[in-house]
Structure 1
Amino acid sequence: MKKFILFFLLISESLLAQTSNELFSSANNLYKEGKYEEAISLYNQILEKGEVSSEVYYNIGNSYYKLNKVAPTIYNYEKALKLDPANQDAHNNLVFAKRLTLDRIEALPKTLLQKINENYLQKLSYNTWGMLAVLASLIACLLFLGYYFSSIPSQKKLYFTTSIISFLLLFIFLAIGYNQYSKAQNTVEAIIFSEEAIVNTEPTQNANEAFILHEGTKVNVLDQVDDWKKIKLADGKIGWILSEKLKEL
């Protein structure tokens, strides 16, 4: 009986994967035919099945871009990049999509380390840095074993030096991965979905207006009080906005 249940579960998983592949293929065909809303519907069915991937979000973003819907376009490109920071197509298309937004926000100047982190280190996810750390640890162990069992002085010196370098790389990869993981856990980003959203100085309707944002603008969410969320822009401005006006990534 247990074997039958296991066989049934394996067959069900296989059919689910096949169905998702068929949906993805059908959605791609609809996109090519210019039926973008129908394509989006099928892509969303894939997400509802739990088959989350950077490619699906990227294709949804492309579909919304064709429909000239700014906020959903940027949202889905950002989701694609969160799953795969190395998705260069999503990055390039996001640049074009941001040109459709009305808000022009100048980011605060970054330090050299922040620029290195943003332009290079963040291109890899914390999972990838973790895998690099594991790989470095394996190489370091093998090199140390080579040092331990080698009887030739020149080889022992080479094994020892390279094993030390590998251990140093291990700790560097771990530090970068932990930093990326902490940032991912502590940073909540969102996209403004309202065509025009008033940001107040306090989390109340009768508070003074701080500034106005438009759809597609990316913000950081700092806090929440009832139906209000405290947000921060890239230029450092802070205010409160109704939760319904934005969608968290």
Structure 2
Amino acid sequence: MKKIIYIVVLLFSLVAYSQEADKLFAEGNTFYKEENYSRAVGVYLSIEEQGLESDELYFNIANCYYKMNKVAPAIYYYEKALKTNPTNEDAIANLAFAKRMTIDVIEDLPKTFFQRFSASIIQKLPFDTWAIIAVIASFLASLLFLLYYFSSSSKKKLFYFNTSILAVFVLITSVIFAFNNFKTVQKNRVAIIFVPKVEIKNAPSMSSDDVFELHEGTKVIVLDELDNWKKIKIADGKIGWIYTNDLKEI
């Protein structure tokens, strides 16, 4: 009986928590429509501080920062929106506009066929979505095989057999894509430069030589870290060290 009461209380708490978040989100939208972007972003950030995540929330936060001409946080939250939902077309479009506010012009290294395929297909969906597709495909494959096994009609047997093979193919492909996506997310620790200008060092030390310069809003990949320093790589392949407080990981 105590467990049932606990579950009921928990469910009511979750519902109330969700309603409060929805109320705050609507309040933030009202401030945004009134062009009071500082108040709007404050409300949105209070929702984030509660541990809630969604691409719509991150997208609205990014829009507020973009309207306030704060390039680094705008790009940071557009990237967070796309990390949560890579198919958010509005975030993709607005991120492109935000990047025009940055100073650094960095040429991307040529990509291999697999890198292009991964970016255009595999990375278009989060790894948990691929995992869900795999689970659905496994259920369908099992069901179709049972229908094939118990069917008395030769035509139906052929149909169920072929579709079960197709479901197995989708299952295997989805598992591979999910695993690849997960490895890519874990490997590519993306961060945004959050200071107006920073000198990138050739070693994790203030006395080391400068190798290149970056500016606010530039996207980098974190390769390693040591004490208060992080080793980064930019799109053209250059590598160096930056002080941890000068960037923010997504």
- Deviation, 1:110, is 0.7
Query: Aligned residue for 1:34?
Result: 35
Partners in 1 of 2:204 and 2:95 — Cα distance?
31
Q: How many residues align?
A: 249
Partners in 2 of 1:233 and 1:10 — Cα distance?
46
Q: TM-score, normalised by structure 1?
A: 0.96
1:85-234 paired onto structure 2 within 5 Å: 85-234=86-235
**Between 171-180 and 9-18, the greater mean CA deviation after superposition:** 9-18
- Deviation, 1:5, is 4.9
**Between 109-118 and 204-213, the greater mean CA deviation after superposition:** 109-118
Q: TM-score, normalised by structure 2?
A: 0.96
Residue identity over aligned pairs, in percent, reads 48
Partners in 2 of 1:131 and 1:34 — Cα distance?
40
- Deviation, 1:4, is 5.3
- Deviation, 1:9, is 3.5
**Between 198-207 and 152-161, the greater mean CA deviation after superposition:** 152-161
**What is the letter of the counterpart of residue 179 of structure 2?**
Y
**What is the letter of the counterpart of residue 191 of structure 1?**
I
3-state SS of the aligned residue for 1:202?
Answer: coil
Partners in 1 of 2:130 and 2:214 — Cα distance?
36
Query: Aligned residue for 2:84?
Result: 83
Partners in 1 of 2:7 and 2:171 — Cα distance?
40
Partners in 2 of 1:203 and 1:29 — Cα distance?
46
What is the root-mean-square deviation in Å for CA atoms of aligned residues? Answer: 1.4
Partners in 2 of 1:221 and 1:9 — Cα distance?
39
Query: Aligned residue for 1:71?
Result: 72
3-state SS of the aligned residue for 1:14?
Answer: helix
Instruction: Check if 1:59 corresponds to 2:23.
Output: no
- Cα–Cα, structure 1 residues 4 and 171, in superposed 2: closer, same or farther, change >3 Å? closer
Query: Aligned residue for 2:241?
Result: 240
Partners in 2 of 1:43 and 1:163 — Cα distance?
46
3-state SS of the aligned residue for 1:199?
Answer: strand
- Deviation, 1:7, is 4.3
- Deviation, 1:78, is 0.4
**What is the letter of the counterpart of residue 52 of structure 1?**
E
- Deviation digits for residues 6-37 of structure 1, max 9, x if unmatched? 54433332222111111000000001111111
Partners in 2 of 1:193 and 1:14 — Cα distance?
36
Partners in 1 of 2:188 and 2:116 — Cα distance?
18
**What is the letter of the counterpart of residue 220 of structure 2?**
V
**What is the letter of the counterpart of residue 164 of structure 1?**
I
**Between 107-116 and 56-65, the greater mean CA deviation after superposition:** 107-116
3-state SS of the aligned residue for 1:165?
Answer: helix
Partners in 1 of 2:6 and 2:135 — Cα distance?
36
Partners in 1 of 2:54 and 2:17 — Cα distance?
15
Partners in 2 of 1:8 and 1:130 — Cα distance?
31
**What is the letter of the counterpart of residue 143 of structure 2?**
L
3-state SS of the aligned residue for 1:239?
Answer: strand
User: Unpaired segments of 5 or more residues in structure 1?
Assistant: none
Partners in 2 of 1:187 and 1:81 — Cα distance?
14
User: Unpaired segments of 5 or more residues in structure 2?
Assistant: none
